[in-house]
Amino acid sequence: MLPLPQRVVEYIRAHSLLRAGEGVAVAVSGGADSVALLRILLELRNELGIVISVAHFHHGIRGADADADEAFVAGLASAHDLKLHLDRGEARVRAGKSNISLETAARQLRQGFFAQILQEHKANCVATAHTLDDQAETVLMKALRGAGSRGLSGIFPEHRCVAGRIVRPLLEVRREQLREYLRAQKQEWREDASNLDLSFARNRVRTRALPMLRDEVNPSVEHALAHVAEIARAEEQYWNDQITRLLPLVIVPGEPARGGGRKQTRSEGIAIDIQKLYQQPLAVQRRLLRAAAEKLGCGMEFEQVQAVLHLIAQRAERGAQNKIVELGAGWRVRLLFRELRFEVAEQKESSTGYALPLHIPGEVRVAALGTTIRARISEDNGKAKNASYNPHSVRLPEIAELVVRNWRAGDRFRPARHNSEKRVKELLYPLHLSEEEKRLWPVVAAGDRIVWVRSIDSPELRTETGERLSIEESAE
C-alpha cells in the first residue's frame, strides 16, 4: 500500500484538483482531519508546485476552547512559516436571527469566510478535510431520507463557486488513517475542534448507525457507501448535461391567449409542453420537472414530482378535480389543457393555515379542521403526583402559552418512547395523508417546542406545578 501522501497526490491528479502555481488556502479547524490535511499538503507542496496558506474561522461559540483552537492553528501556521487568514463570526446570533440550527449558522458563516478569501484573491482555492467517513455518513443520511442520484452523489471532490474552487483532497482517506499519520509524525491536534459541524442527524449516523452496520452487515460499509457516491456522481454529471440540453426543448414560451395563439407572459413562471414531456422516458420526465422548479428557485420533493405526474396521467379522466400541486416557497404547478404551468401560488391558497391560543385548562375550536382541541388537567392526577419520576415526561415552563396550529416545515417532535426528536414531516409520512389533510395537520406548540401532534403518541406532559396535562381532539 502506498504511503498516505502518495495516495493523496494520486487522488489530486486523478481529479485535477490542484494545478502548479496555485495558492491553496487550507481550512484548518485544529481537529485531526484538517491538521493532517495541512501536514500532507506541506509534504506535497514541492511535488505539486502549490503555495499553501492557512484559513481558520472562529465561530464565536465554545468560548475559551475556541480561542485555544485559534491559537493552536496560528501556532501551526507560524511554525511552518505560512500565511494565516483569520476571521470571527457570531454563529449563535445568526442562528437566532435566521431561525436555523447552530451547525447550519456556523457552516454558512464559514462558507462566507471561504468565499471572501477567494474573492479577495488570497488563494485560488480552499482545501477542506472531508474524509471517506464524512462521505459515507452523507450518503447514508441521503439514502435514509430517500434520495436519487443527486443526493447519493454525496460530497463532490471539487465544488466550483464564482470566485474559485473548494477542493476535498482527502475524500478517499479514512479518518483513522489520518490519526495514524499524525501520531507517526508526532503532530498534535485539538480534539473536538471540528465537532461543531455535526448536525444532530450526522452525529447519530456517525456514533450509532455506522458502527452498528459495520458490525452487523458489512465491515467495509464506509467504502461501499463511498462507491455508491462515486457511481452516482458520474451519473449525476451525465444527467446535468442531458437535462440542460432537454429542458429548453420542452419549455413553452408565453401563455395561451384567449381565442387561441399565445401572448407574451407578464407573470414569472415556466410552462412545460405536456406532450413533449410525455415523450421522454420516466426518469427524464422526473428530472425535467425538478429542473424546471429549480430554475424558479424552489425545489421539488419526490412526492411532489410523483403528484404532478399523477395529475398528467389522470388528465383524461372525467371528473378529475385536482389540477394543482403546491410546491412550497410560494410556487405551485397547475395543469392546463396542453401544458403544465409553474406559477406563483395565490395568496388565498397559502393563507388557510391557523395558529390559535389554547389555555390550560381550556379548548379551542379549529374551523379549518371542524374539530375542537382541549387541554385538560388529567383525572389520574392524584396518582400521577405520587408516581415515580418519569425521565421522558415534558414539564412546561410556567410562562408557556400553548398554541394550536398547523405544522410547518422544520417542526420537530419527540414522540412517546423515543429518545430523540423526529421531523414532523417524517412522522406524518406513514399516515398516508392526502395533500390537503397533511397541510392542515394540527400540532400544539409550547413556545418553540412541539408538545403534541395529532395521531402520534405524545410524551407525558406536566405543568410547571407537576399536574398532568392531556391534550385531546374531538369532532363535536
Per CB under 8 A, residues contacting its own copies are 1, 14, 139-141, 143-149, 152, 174, 201, 204-205, 208-209, 212-213, 215-221, 223-228, 230-232, 234-235, 237-238, 241, 281-284, 286, 302, 313, 415, 418-420, 422, 426-427, 429-433
Find out whether 190 and 30 touch, Cβ atoms under 8 Å. yes
74/198 with CB nearer its own copies: 198
Strands 371-377 and 468-474, by their bridges, are antiparallel
CB of 65 vs its own copies, minimal distance in Å:
27
CB of 71 vs its own copies, minimal distance in Å:
36
226/296 with CB nearer its own copies: 226
CB atoms within 10 A of CB 430: 9
91/226 with CB nearer its own copies: 226
Q: In what order do the strands lie in the sheet with 468-474?
A: 362-366, 371-377, 468-474, 461-462, 394-395
97/208 with CB nearer its own copies: 208
Nearest-angstrom CA–CA distance, 160 and 247: 23
126/132 with CB nearer its own copies: 132
Length of the chain as a residue count: 476
User: Coil, strand, or helix at residue 159?
Assistant: strand
CB of 150 vs its own copies, minimal distance in Å:
10
CB of 432 vs its own copies, minimal distance in Å:
5
CB of 233 vs its own copies, minimal distance in Å:
9
81/216 with CB nearer its own copies: 216
- What is the per-residue DSSP string for 243-304? HHHHHHHHEEPSEEPTTSSEE---SS-EEEEHHHHHTS-HHHHHHHHHHHHHHTT----HHH
Task: Tell me how far the alpha carbon of residue 424 is from its chain's centroid.
Answer: 15
CB of 473 vs its own copies, minimal distance in Å:
18
CB of 36 vs its own copies, minimal distance in Å:
17
CB of 238 vs its own copies, minimal distance in Å:
4
Residue pointed to by grid coordinates 482517506: 173
68/284 with CB nearer its own copies: 284
Find out whether 464 and 396 touch, Cβ atoms under 8 Å. yes
106/152 with CB nearer its own copies: 152
Nearest-angstrom CA–CA distance, 327 and 207: 35
User: Cis ω on the peptide bond leading into residue 361 (within 30° of 0)?
Assistant: yes
Find out whether 232 and 149 touch, Cβ atoms under 8 Å. yes
